[in-house]
Each structure stands twice: as structure tokens, then as C-alpha cells.
Copies of this chain bind each other. A is one copy, B any other.
Amino acid sequence: MTNTAIPRQPHPVSLATDQPLISRDSSLSLVEQIVRALAARIDDRLLRSGARMPSIRQFADQHGVSRFTVIEAYDRLVAGGHLESRRGSGFYVRERAPHLSAAAPDADAVNSQLDVVWLARNMFRQLPPQKMPGSGLLPADWLDAELVGNGLRAVSRQNPTLLLQYGSPQGFLPLRQQLQLKLAELEIQTTPEQIVTTSGVTQALDLVARQFLRPGDTVFVDDPAWFLMFGSFAALGARVIGIPRTADGPDVAKLAELAALHRPKLFVINSVLHNPTSGSLSSAKAFQILKIAEQYDFHIAEDDIYCDLHPGSAIQPATRIAALDQLHRVIYLGGFSKTLAANLRVGFIAASPALAQTLADRKILSSLTSTEIGERVIYKVLSEGHYRKHAERLRGKLDRARERTLRQLERIGLDVAGSPAAGMFVWVDTGRDTNRLTERAMAEGWLLAPGSLFSPHQLASPRMRLNIAAMADPGIWRFLEEALAQS
């Protein structure tokens, strides 16, 4: 973890020279916009602890807002712990609480997740989307706010009595029936009884990990892989081992060798549109992985969150191990954060009937039920038949953005792993330490996703993940060109 050189206190940015904090077109109030913009800068350490804020009058003049607006915004930032008011002297960026209290009883156990969490937190910043080539989500203007908004309005007109009681712990039944149809198209046969809804794929993975992993157990992941789960597994006391990912899936010789050596309980894998490389599994690899899992008796958690960004096997292979195994040894995970709306927090698990029941029990123990609102919204969207077209549109836009991005990358001399023909990410080789690059980028207001984030051991890496939907701003290309020329 020591080689993750992400800065704790990058160069301060003066408010005056920064991009505009507020927009008259925003649906947010001016106060809310100022609060969010300043809180984000403070959280990102773009404003140093102890730095003095412009006076209320200065700020009002600089940004063309009323003093009353500034007072209210500053007050809320004080209440939120971002600023402090020193009587007679003005407002200052407050000393932030440390991320983990030294007094916390298990600081040691959690320490190993610290950087991952700190970096993950940056993913939630309210930076403008074009400033976030490191983001794992599509920008809001790529998605269909109307589709989601109409769904929510329809749900809000339903009988609100439904909200007063707990919903079904296993999830809204009509949604699970829709998911059964969706999975059937992927050649995975289930019943709604085998499906459990979750608060995004994150809770799905957490429930599966808590089911299979005890302290000291080994879990295999792709290397590289989605970073948040490393922290989650570490918190369970599990040993995380990466299986090198090649163009058409994991290195199966290595997988067999490491399985014999470490006897893992679980292998978590993106079969289709792997994050971050956007590669997908060949049928042959899927078969070999399942054989190895049978031989060494481990389970496979197949995270298919990018499912609907895949254009179909005519373009790129797309084999789900679950289609071979039919949910005996494979647990299939999916969700709608990438294509519909991350904040609805709707994910799901499909598993054998008995395991699904056990996971539903675990869900009861950890959160009783999930809220049905999001599940009803997703159900509306799926059942009314607009989703397929929406996904198709997204894929078309991604194809065009990918082509532009690959052309630009070639122009500035950067290599891309594989020949990505689908998905929202490219995995770029910069030829230098991307932690350092990320640090510089952050100081200039860009969020990057350095390779270390995706390494099971946070090893520094010359690679980084670019979100092709967030590469339209010429500024990011200028930044990359300059940064690469200098180092």
C-alpha cells in the first residue's frame, strides 16, 4: 500500500481562477451549488485545511451572487464541518477529521483498505462529468433522465400504502420475473425464487463474500479488477490473490496453478466487458475456468454489471460461465447502475435455489429489505420495453466515442490493451507511473483512475483506465499531452 502515492494535500487552487462555481441553468439553488462545489474542493484537498476563505463580500462580488446567498452557503459549510468561523476573522477551511480514528478498535484491520476507500470516495465527488475520465459511470447527459424520471413519477402515483410496510426481503416479485426473462436471453435458466435483489452489485458482492469467506480464506480476483471489492474482502480478513487477465480472459494455466496452491473459496470475475480492460471471455476459457472450479471445488461469482453495454457475440465473444454451469457453482450478479441510474441502487444475485434463500436470509440480517421504489422504477422501465432501445443507443454512442478516443490516443502515442470493440473503458499504457500522473491531474481538477487502483495489491502501474464517454473535453487531451511530454 506504500507505493500508492496519491497526494493527501495537493497544490491549493485559488477560487478566483477556477472554473465557474455556479450556473444559472442548474436545477440546484445557488446556495446548493456553492455548497457542493466548495465541499467537493475541500474534500478533494484542492482547498487546504486552514486556508482562509474569501470574505462574504468578496465572494459575492466575484461570483455575482447576493451576500445572503454566500452567508447561507458558508453557514451550511460550517454545519457540514467543511469550514469553521473564527470570530472577527472570517471563514477557514476546517481541519478535517482523520479518515480512520486512531482510537477505532480495529484501525489495523481497516488500514489496508484505506487508500482504496479514499480513492473510491473521490469517485463520488460532484466534479463536472467531463472532468472525470476516471469515473466508472457514464456521464448523466449520456443516460436517459426522462426514462428514469417517468418511471419514478409513475411509481409515485401508485398507492403509497405499499411503502409503509417492509417489502419482500427477496425483492419486488415482478422485477424478479423480468430478470428471469433477461437471464433466459443469456441462456441462464432461473426461477424468480433464485433471484435476490440487492442495493447495487456492491451489496451483492458483499453478501456473497460474507457467505463464502472466513478470515484467512483465499479469494481470487481478476488482475486488474474493480477496486472496491479489495477493501471489502480485506475487511473480512480474506486473502486476495489476482489472476492475470489476458485478452480473452484469465490466464487459465496460472489459475490452475494458484488454485492447487491456495485452494480458494471463491473466484470473482467479470466475464463480459471486464473492468478495466473491456475484454470478454472466450467460450474455451469459460469452459476451462469452470473445469478448474470443479476440480478445486470453489465457487465463481460472475459480475456481469456491464452486460447491456455488450453488442452481442457477433462483435465480440460473450460467454457467461453461468450459462455453462446453470447456477450450480456460479453465482451471477447484475445491476442497472451503468445503464439506467446508479442512485436507484438496484442490483441482483441469481444463484441455486438454496443459496438464493441463504443469501436472502443474509440480506435480512444486514438490511432487512431493500427499498421497493428503485425496484419498481426499474421494473417499469424493463417491462415497458424502452430499455432495449436505450441500451442500443448507448452502445452506438460508445462506439463513436471509442473510435474518437482511440484515434486521439494513437495521436499522442499511447497504447491500448487489447482491441476494445465494446464497453465504456479503455486500459491505456502510459509508459510511466500513473499514480504521479493522477496526482498532477487532480491538482488541475481532473479525476483519473490510475492502474494501482485496479491492482489487488495497489501496485504502481503504467496503466490507467479511461472512461471513453468522458474524453470529449479538449482540455483532458491537452493535459495528457503536456504531462506526458514533461515526465
Q: A27 and B354: CB pair below 8 A?
A: no
Which residue of chain B is the closest to A217 with respect to CB atoms? Answer: B105
In the complex, chain B residues whose CB is within 8 Å of the CB of A202: 365-368
Q: A369 and B345: CB pair below 8 A?
A: yes
A157, A176, A368: most-surrounded residue (chain B CB, <10 A) = A368
Q: B79 and A192: CB pair below 8 A?
A: yes
Give the size category of A's interface with B.
35 or more
Please tell me if A120 contacts chain B, counting CB pairs below 8 Å.
Answer: yes
Q: How far is the CB of A471 from chain B (nearest CB, A)?
A: 18
Q: How far is the CB of A442 from chain B (nearest CB, A)?
A: 19
Instruction: Render A273-306 as a binary contact track against B, CB cut-off 8 A, 1 for contact.
Output: 0000000000000000000000000010000000
Please tell me if A361 contacts chain B, counting CB pairs below 8 Å.
Answer: yes
Q: A117 and B365: CB pair below 8 A?
A: yes
Q: A364 and B121: CB pair below 8 A?
A: yes
Q: How far is the CB of A254 from chain B (nearest CB, A)?
A: 24
In the complex, chain B residues whose CB is within 8 Å of the CB of A180: 79
Q: B153 and A140: CB pair below 8 A?
A: no
Known: A180-B79, A210-B235, A367-B199. A124 touches B354 (CB 8 A): no
A156 touches which of B113, B149, B374 (Cβ 8 Å): B149
Q: B117 and A166: CB pair below 8 A?
A: no
Q: How far is the CB of A473 from chain B (nearest CB, A)?
A: 18
Instruction: Render A137-148 as a binary contact track against B, CB cut-off 8 A, 1 for contact.
Output: 100100101101
Q: A99 and B361: CB pair below 8 A?
A: yes
In the complex, chain B residues whose CB is within 8 Å of the CB of A355: 101, 104
Known: A113-B361, A358-B110. A164 touches B148 (CB 8 A): yes
Please tell me if A457 contacts chain B, counting CB pairs below 8 Å.
Answer: no
Please tell me if A191 contacts chain B, counting CB pairs below 8 Å.
Answer: yes
A161 touches which of B109, B140, B165 (Cβ 8 Å): B140
Which residue of chain B is the closest to A103 with respect to CB atoms? Answer: B354
In the complex, chain B residues whose CB is within 8 Å of the CB of A49: none
Bound-state Cα–Cα, A162 to B342, Å: 10
Bound-state Cα–Cα, A235 to B152, Å: 36
Q: Which of A167-175, A394-402, A412-420, A423-431 contacts B (4 or more CB under 8 A)?
A: A167-175
A362 touches which of B76, B199, B235 (Cβ 8 Å): B235
Q: How far is the CB of A28 from chain B (nearest CB, A)?
A: 8
In the complex, chain B residues whose CB is within 8 Å of the CB of A232: 365-366
A165, A193, A228: most-surrounded residue (chain B CB, <10 A) = A165
Which residue of chain B is the closest to A230 with respect to CB atoms? Answer: B365
A156, A191, A193, A200: most-surrounded residue (chain B CB, <10 A) = A156
Task: Tell me the chain A residues, 65-100 only, with Cβ under 8 Å from chain B.
Answer: 76, 79-81, 97-100
Q: A193 and B97: CB pair below 8 A?
A: yes
Q: How far is the CB of A68 from chain B (nearest CB, A)?
A: 18
Please tell me if A451 contacts chain B, counting CB pairs below 8 Å.
Answer: no
Please tell me if A353 contacts chain B, counting CB pairs below 8 Å.
Answer: yes
A214 touches which of B27, B103, B106, B149 (Cβ 8 Å): B106
Which residue of chain B is the closest to A265 with respect to CB atoms? Answer: B105
Please tell me if A322 contacts chain B, counting CB pairs below 8 Å.
Answer: no
7 closest Cβ pairs, A-B complex: A149-B160, A101-B354, A81-B193, A156-B156, A27-B159, A97-B353, A145-B160
**Measuring CB to CB, which residues of chain A are less than 8 angstroms from any residue of chain B?**
27, 35, 76, 79-81, 97-101, 103-106, 109-110, 113, 117, 120-121, 123-124, 137, 140, 143, 145-146, 148-149, 152-153, 155-169, 173, 176-177, 180, 191-194, 199-200, 202-203, 206, 210-212, 214-215, 228, 231-232, 235, 265, 299, 337, 341-345, 352-358, 361-362, 364-374
Q: Jot down 6 A-B pairs with beta carbons below 8 A, ordered by A.
A: A27-B162, A100-B357, A124-B167, A145-B164, A206-B365, A373-B373
